Amino acid sequence: MRRRLRGTALGLLLATLVTGCAGPTDAGATPKWESASAAPFVPVAGACHREVENVGYRFAYAPVDCAEVHRTETVHVGTFTGAAAGRTTPPPAGSADRRTAFKACDARATAYAGADWRGALMSLRLVTPEPRDWTAGSRWYRCDLFTLSSIDGSSSRRNPDDFATQRTGSLRGVLTRPSPLRFACFDEDRWENLAPVPCARAHHFEYVGIWTAPEGTYEWAGRDPEVIYNHCQQVIARRVRGTADERPVPGSGTMYRLPSPGAWQRGDRGIRCFYWSGEYRTMSRPLEG
């Protein structure tokens, strides 16, 4: 969605812009699977995984070298504490305890990638122990970072998804250097999906930053675009303050993208804000700031 800018007293550019069978045992012997379940198990940070997981089943734990084809990368392994650790089952999706863990994952993922992962073709997922391991005392959680095919997902901007793409290579430090994953300049295709273009080529949109929305439902987040436009205006103003691009450009405005519904439920509240040059004007350089 987009909206034209209105001038402000500050004169800032208010461009608004996801068994085998066992043999018989002694009557008092402990079955092998019980011993395995009781053994401590904690996944490894920095490992990559061929498939996306929500629950970390020990029998299925098979990390691969990040140089091999994979979908997710564990950037951090944390521990549930307090009331969350006292639960009889892992915190469910959408719960306050899970959102708290996601916030820790958010910070760790940003440090791991080298910049805010929300400003790139990335999403973040929390993985918790299988119920049997939780009952046995496991309280770890995994923070798995993964890449996306496009900012609008593989379906539509009106129904975005965040399917993890296959890739090779680690995401460690990937945003500390030029990367095609990083959001920059865009134009819309005929379906109004954002397509990346070189900033030196004529374009209408440029990514300017994140507004972190307050807690609430996904439906609530998108019901009042005016609120989002206003916050994205502030993001743009901070970006260009004190530069030549601070002067308002007639007809310019803002546009934004919400996280996918799945990403929102996992804890991503980052609204991606973009500057819009206007319907009849293009840019051929990045904004200053």
For residue range 215-266, what is the model confidence (pLDDT) as tens digits? 888 888 878 889 999 999 999 988 887 675 666 676 788 999 999 999 999 9
Q: Which of 229, 230, 210, 223 is nearest to 272 (CA)?
A: 210
- 223 within a domain of the structure (yes/no): yes
- 32 within a domain of the structure (yes/no): no
Q: Which range has the worst mean pLDDT, 43-47, 74-78, 149-153, 213-217?
A: 149-153
CA–CA separation, 201 vs 53, rounded Å? 39
Instruction: Provide the residue range defining the domain that includes 56.
Output: 2-17+45-276
- 284 within a domain of the structure (yes/no): no
- 197 within a domain of the structure (yes/no): yes
- 123 within a domain of the structure (yes/no): yes
DSSP alpha helices (H): ranges in 39-122?
Answer: 82-85, 96-113
- 25 within a domain of the structure (yes/no): no
- 144 within a domain of the structure (yes/no): yes
- Structure confidence by residue, pLDDT tens digits, 17-68: 333 433 443 333 333 434 444 567 899 999 999 999 999 999 999 999 999 9
As for how many domains the chain has, the answer is 1
- 40 within a domain of the structure (yes/no): no
The identity of residue 120, as a single letter, is: A
Query: Can you tell me the mean pLDDT for 128-143?
Result: 96
Phi-psi region of 255 (alpha: psi -120 to 50; beta: other; left: phi over 0): beta
